[in-house]
């Protein structure tokens, strides 16, 4: 298994928890199906089908899974049903319902439709690395990552911090493009985005296209900064670094596939993949942060 997108956070230095304690904390917020009157339900589920443990631990690395069940009830359906109810009410009382009555009517209609609405469930994976101090969420969406963080913060003994670097990704990526040279251990690939900070936010994108240094220099000189940059780390993993420190489109290259442990047992193969992924990504994250000048110290911690 490999995470495809990384929203990266730091574990607080006071993080001290063993698998049993972590499972106890997560159990307080275990997943339960949506009740008839609920629009959404969230909670932790076991990452492995053959285990009840909510925190799957291998080689001192933790894998969690957040399940989100959401009812599919489009606003157009609610509005149509509310309109029909309002027409019936107008015929009965001889005048149309007012604003307050319409609001109450819409709420009643929603409550009536919810038990019959279809529900979909999505899973969001979380990796906790107490060895290197990382907490990583497999999501391209900051809002979905926020959902995970909100639930984790309800668990005791899971202190989290934002990842901040001394040099902003936009500044560093712009410098790398301007000098046509990636930091040590990385290569620049063929996808990038440069955007102006003016009101029109003029944007230039290269998609699977060779990046011409002269063209890039002109765009940078006109005030554009690099907001996304495709790169490869150590000839092992390709990815796209974004200006908000999100890492997207993770793809392990053939060199890792060749080194992968071969086993016929599904559980052993899953754990071997997890160990390989966490080992490589932890090192890659360290190198990315180093290339951005290192972590920015918390001034309150001094």
Percent of the chain past pLDDT 70, that is, above it, reads 96
SS3 of residue 94 by DSSP: coil
Residue 300 pLDDT exceeds 50 = no
Q: Is the pLDDT of residue 282 over 60?
A: yes
Say if residue 199's pLDDT is above 50. Answer: yes
- Among residues 245, 252, 249, 246, which one has the least CA distance to residue 279? 252
Q: Above 90 in pLDDT, residue 34?
A: no
Backbone phi and psi for residue 38, each to the nearest 5 degrees, phi listed first: -95, 140
- pLDDT value at 262 more than 60: no
Q: How confident is the model at residue 259 (pLDDT cuts 50, 70, 90)?
A: low
What pLDDT score does 122 carry?
93
Specify the pLDDT at position 299.
46
Alpha helices, H only, 222-265: 254-259
pLDDT in tens, 41-67: 999 999 998 888 999 999 999 999 999
Contact 71, 38 (CB under 8 A): yes
Spatial distance between the Cα atoms of 280 and 157, rounded to a whole number of angstroms: 26
Burial class (CB in 10 A: 0-12, 13-18, 19+), 248: middle
DSSP 8-state symbol, 116: G
Residue 41's pLDDT is what?
92
What sections of 187-265 are H helices per DSSP?
Answer: 213-221, 254-259
At 107-147, the pLDDT tens digits run 888 888 887 888 889 999 999 999 999 999 999 999 999 99
Contact (Cβ atoms closer than 8 angstroms) between residue 226 and residue 193 = yes
Cβ proximity of 206 and 190 under 8 Å: yes
> Quick one: pLDDT at residue 264?
58
Residues 6+ apart with CB under 8 A from 150: none
| Position 269 pLDDT exceeds 80 | yes
How high is the pLDDT of residue 301? 45
Cα→Cα distances 135→92, 102, 143, 157, Å = 59, 46, 16, 14
Q: Which residue, among 199, 201, 195, has the nearest Cα to 220 in the 3D structure?
A: 195
Q: Is the pLDDT of residue 207 over 50?
A: yes
Parallel/antiparallel/unpaired status of strands 61-72 and 40-45: antiparallel
Measured between alpha carbons, how far is 227 from 171 in angstroms, rounded to an integer? 9
Cβ pair 240, 204 in contact under 8 A: no
- The mean predicted confidence, pLDDT, of the chain is 89
**pTM of the model as a whole:** 0.85
């Amino acid at each position: 298994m490999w995470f495809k997108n990384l929203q990266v956070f730091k574990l607080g230095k006071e993080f001290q928890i063993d698998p049993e304690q972590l499972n106890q904390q997560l159990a307080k917020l275990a997943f339960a199906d949506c009740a008839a009157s609920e629009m959404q339900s969230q909670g932790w589920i076991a990452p492995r089908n053959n285990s009840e443990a909510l925190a799957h631990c291998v080689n001192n690395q933790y894998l969690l899974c957040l399940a989100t069940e959401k009812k599919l009830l489009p606003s157009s359906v609610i509005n149509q049903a509310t309109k029909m109810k309002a027409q019936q009410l107008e015929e009965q009382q001889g005048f149309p319902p007012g604003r307050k009555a319409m609001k109450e009517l819409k709420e009643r209609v929603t409550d009536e439709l919810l038990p019959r609405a279809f529900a979909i469930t999505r899973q969001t994976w979380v990796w906790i690395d107490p060895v290197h101090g990382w907490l990583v969420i497999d999501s391209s969406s900051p809002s979905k990552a926020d959902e995970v963080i909100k639930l984790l913060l309800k668990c005791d003994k899971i202190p989290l911090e934002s990842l901040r670097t001394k040099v902003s990704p936009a500044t560093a990526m712009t410098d790398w493009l301007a000098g046509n040279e990636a930091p040590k251990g990385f290569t620049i690939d063929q996808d990038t985005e440069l955007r102006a900070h003016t009101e029109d936010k003029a944007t230039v994108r290269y998609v699977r296209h060779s990046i011409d240094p002269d063209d890039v220099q002109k765009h940078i000189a006109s005030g554009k900064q690099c907001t996304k940059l495709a790169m490869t780390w150590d000839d092992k993993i390709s990815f796209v670094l974004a200006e908000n420190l999100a890492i997207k489109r993770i793809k392990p290259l053939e060199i890792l596939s060749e080194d992968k442990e071969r086993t016929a047992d599904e559980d052993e193969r899953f754990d071997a993949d997890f160990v390989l992924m966490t080992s490589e990504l932890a090192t890659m994250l360290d190198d990315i942060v180093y290339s951005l000048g290192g972590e920015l110290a918390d001034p309150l911690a001094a």
